[in-house]
Structure 1
Amino acid sequence: MPEVIMNGPEGRLEGRYQQGSGPNAPIALMLHPHPQHGGTMNNKVIYALFQSFQKLGFSVLRFNFRGVGRSQGKFDRGEGELSDAAAALDWLQTWNPNASQCWIAGFSFGAWIGMQLLMRRPEISGFISVAPPANIYDFSFLAPCPSSGLMVQGDQDTIVPQESVTKLVNKLSHQRGIKIDYRMIPGATHFFTEHLDQLTQTVDEYLNAQVPEVAAKIRATR
């Protein structure tokens, strides 16, 4: 899995990149949890999401926000991290100018950043938000939400209560033309420690249904 170094707003951004199959391979960007609480691009949930997109032939990028690992800069309360995500997406698009689709996926803090990026980049066609911290951060900017997507939550999450995510999903689902697929994983905590297989299965099923033409091409080559 090639290591890449990108130019970010505050200097170097460290990432890992996997090139997709085919000249028009769709692209996906992974966004990790809170940098001040141990979040990195090597988080197990982020790595699982990375693999799900990779299996479908996407060109996939995960990277460290500023101040994490070898990425330069300091934590910036989300504002700078959003700029980092935009720079990473720019890099991904530069390497894949003919991508057929553009997706984002984030976990916890990364889900919040991802939804903000979704509002600013109309080319993003779908999203996956794992344990979006609706009780900690304001998601009211999703008015309206520009794309349909998947939200996944563990029913034993004590950091992000189920009620807060359910309220967010209900609000978005009432918007015209938007479908939020909301999946609850029984027994899973915020970090999905013993439920990564169930999380991966949920994401795989969703992606196979949403991008069937990509899945069909991959199956044909096996």
Structure 2
Amino acid sequence: MPEVTFTGPAGRIEGRFQPSKQRGAPIAIVLHPHPQFGGTMNNKIVYDLFYAFVQRGFSALRFNFRGVGRSQGSFDHGAGELSDAASALDWVQAVTPDAKSCWIAGVSFGAWIGMQLLMRRPEIEGFISVAPPANRFDFSFLAPCPSSGLIVHGDADRVAPLKDVETLVSKLKTQKGIVIEQSVIAGANHFFDNKTDELIASCSSYLDKRLGLNDIDAA
């Protein structure tokens, strides 16, 4: 898997990029959890989500936000990290100019950043938000949410409690023209300890449905 570096607003950004072998393949960017609580692009959920996209023919990128690993800069409470994510999308689009669509996925803090990027970039047509911290960060910018996607979380999550995520999902589901799916992993905490396989299976199933792969398997 190629190591890559590209320029962000705060300097060099370190990433891992797996280009698809097919022309016109869709793009996927996966965003990691909170940098000040150990979040990096090597987080297991980020890594597994990255490969879920790769296995389905996407050109996929995961990267370290500013101040993490070999990425330059320092933590910026979300504003700078959103700029990093926008720069990452710009970079992937520059190296895969024939890509026909784009997806964004994020874990916890990364889910919050990913949803903000979704609002700013109309080319993003699908999203996966894992354990969005709806109680800790303001998601009111999703008015309306422009794309369909999946929100997946655990019912034993004490960092982002179930009731707060349920409130966010209920709000988004009232919007016309998009479909928000919800997957609740029984017994899973915020970090999906011992539940990562179930989490990735849920995300993979959703991707297969959106991409029409289930129809192909059934044929």
TM value normalised by structure 2: 0.97
Aligned length: 217
Matched, 1:64 2:101: no
Matched, 1:129 2:140: no
Residue 119 to residue 200, structure 1, CA distance change in 2 (3 Å): same
- Structure-2 residue corresponding to 1:101: 101
Cα distance between partner residues in 1 of 2:215 and 2:114 = 24
SS of the equivalent of 1:168 reads helix
Deviations 1:107-166 (A, max 9, x none): 000000000000000000000000000000000000010001000001111110000000
The aligned amino acid for 2:207 is L
User: How big is the shift at 1:97?
Assistant: 1.0
The aligned amino acid for 2:29 is L
Aligned residue runs from structure 1 range 73-112, under 5 A: 73-112=73-112
Q: Which segments of 5 or more consecutive residues in structure 2 lack a partner in the other structure? A: none
- Structure-2 residue corresponding to 1:194: 194
- Structure-1 residue corresponding to 2:206: 206
Aligned residue runs from structure 1 range 25-174, under 5 A: 25-174=25-174
Residue 187 to residue 213, structure 1, CA distance change in 2 (3 Å): closer
Cα distance between partner residues in 2 of 1:77 and 1:49 = 24
SS of the equivalent of 1:48 reads helix
Structure 1 stretches of 4+ with a deviation exceeding 6 A read: none
TM value normalised by structure 1: 0.95
1:152–1:183 contact (8 Å) kept in structure 2: yes
1:119–1:145 contact (8 Å) kept in structure 2: yes
Identity %: 62
Question: Once superposed, what is the RMSD of the aligned Cα atoms?
Answer: 1.3
Cα distance between partner residues in 2 of 1:99 and 1:71 = 26
User: How big is the shift at 1:64?
Assistant: 0.2
Cα distance between partner residues in 2 of 1:181 and 1:24 = 27
Q: Which segments of 5 or more consecutive residues in structure 1 lack a partner in the other structure? A: none
1:57–1:214 contact (8 Å) kept in structure 2: no
Cα distance between partner residues in 1 of 2:119 and 2:112 = 11
- Structure-2 residue corresponding to 1:10: 10
SS of the equivalent of 2:105 reads strand
Cα distance between partner residues in 2 of 1:198 and 1:115 = 23
The aligned amino acid for 2:26 is P
Deviations 1:40-75 (A, max 9, x none): 000011011101101101000000000000000000
Cα distance between partner residues in 1 of 2:214 and 2:19 = 15
The aligned amino acid for 1:88 is A
